[in-house]
Each structure stands twice: as structure tokens, then as C-alpha cells.
Amino acid sequence: MPPLGSTHRRPTTSAALGADPGPTSMPGGGGVLATAAGTYLLAWVVGLVVAPASPGAFATAAEVHAFFAAHGGAALVQSALVHGVAGLALAGWVLAVAARSRRARRSVAAAGLAAALLSLVQAATMAVLVVQAEAGRVSATDDAFDLINRLDTFKLLALGVLVALASVQGRGQRPAWLGWFGAGAAVLLPVSGAAFLVDVPALTSLLFASLPLLLAWVGAMTLVLLRSSVRMRRGAGAAARRSARSRAG
């Protein structure tokens, strides 16, 4: 049943073809989007410098335990930032982005929230890992470390799906370069996640490249959406003024 006061109209060409009917207004003037994006980026930047580089995914159990026994506190702070804070910020950012689309809202939100949830599980697992390392349990420490890496594989897959969906649902409404940027990130992220499964140097190199690419995409997408929101508000204000002048005349 159509809403009260609506009339039946023939669908436009874009609607008939199944294209995205266009962005909706951004709640809070984009404040949620900007705050979430800023928090996400800052959590990663700060998190990367608060602890030394952790062992590789295929390090021995003894190496893993020795590292976390020596740097458990720093590793816990780092994980709280790059997994905990970043995971919560990602959830807020994804919901703000999903609100911009009528058609792709659920799929974008589902992919992003899945990645955010996996990130929070990683944070919890790191807390367990540090406890095991401090207790001298080498095997348990290595098992927790391996689980965090496996979760990263699935998180990168979810992030790749998120980037792909967000890029496709905004096609034709955003700069072409952002679409190509998103296409590259959507491919690189899940492929780089294989670095945690197979010991191939090329995949490890892709993994290191995937993080700055993801952060750059989040920043670029945020700026484009904020600019779009400003244009929408200006257009709405101009239309309101024209309508007022028309009624006054």
C-alpha cells in the first residue's frame, strides 16, 4: 500500500532499470560519518606506532610466545586501538554510508558490520593471548595468535565485499576515480588475506599494501559523501527559497 498522500506514477527510466534511486539525506549533516571516519583512521595510525611489529603469520610457537611475553602490554594497547576502537568506528561509519542508499542499505551494512564484528573478536582474542603469554603457555599463545590471523583473512574478505558494494551502489553519482579506486581495493583486500593462509612473499607484500589502500579509500569516500551532503543541503535551501518567492509573488 502506498503512503498516504502519494500517487501512483510510472517509474522513471533509472528506477525501471534497477539503478540506485539516489542518496538520501545524511543524518546529522554528516557528523556521524566524519567522526567515525576520523576515529577509524586515527585508531589505525596511532595503533601502528604503539607497539613493535608482531611476528609473521608463520613464525614458530616459541617466537610468538617470546614476543608477546616481552611486549604483551603494548600489543594489548595496539589491539584495543586497531581492533577494538577501529571496529566500533567502522560500524558507525558503515551505518552512516548505508544510510546514503535506498537499495544497497542492507547489503552494505551487513558486509561492514561483519568486518566490524570480526575486528572486535580479534580484540577479545588478543586479550586472551596476552594472558596466556604471561602465564607461560606457549601452545595456547600460538593458538590465539593463529586465530587472530585467521580472523584477519575473513575480515579482509568482508571489507572487500563492503568496498565493492559501496562502490557499485554509488555508480554514476560519484567521481569515476573513486569507482576505480574502490574496484582496486575490492580485489586487493580479499586476495591479500590469503597471506595468512599460505607463506608466499608476494601475498605478504600485498597485505602490507592493503592497509594504506583501505585507509585511503575510507578517507576518500568520506570526503566525497560529505561534499555531496553539502551540495544537497544547498540545493534544498535554494529550492525552498524559490518556492517562498513563488508563493509571495
Contacts of 47 (CB under 8 A, 6+ apart): 77, 78, 79, 81, 82, 85, 86
pLDDT for the residue numbered 21: 42
pLDDT for the residue numbered 99: 85
Contacts of 121 (CB under 8 A, 6+ apart): 151
Average pLDDT, the chain: 85
- Residue predicted with more confidence, 116 or 2: 116
Report the percentage of the chain scoring pLDDT > 70: 77
Query: Is the per-residue pLDDT at 29 higher than 60?
Result: no
Continuous H helices in the chain: 13-16, 31-47, 61-79, 86-98, 105-134, 138-169, 176-192, 201-248
User: Backbone phi, then psi, for 218, in 5-degree steps?
Assistant: -60, -45
- Residue predicted with more confidence, 135 or 231: 135
DSSP 13-25: HHHHTT----PPP
- Whether residue 182 contacts residue 217, with contact meaning beta carbons closer than 8 Å, is answered with yes
Condensed to tens digits (0 to 9), the pLDDT of residues 60-109 reads: 999 999 999 999 999 999 999 999 999 999 999 999 998 876 666 789 99
Distances in Å between the alpha carbon of 231 and those of 19, 56, 155, 160, 178? 21, 46, 34, 29, 18
Nearest to 194 by CA among 157, 219, 247, 237: 157
The Cα 99–Cα 22 span in angstroms is: 11
- Whether residue 139 contacts residue 158, with contact meaning beta carbons closer than 8 Å, is answered with no
Q: What does the block give as the cell for 188?
A: 586487493
pLDDT for the residue numbered 167: 87
Condensed to tens digits (0 to 9), the pLDDT of residues 145-164 reads: 999 999 999 999 999 999 99
- Whether residue 129 contacts residue 145, with contact meaning beta carbons closer than 8 Å, is answered with yes
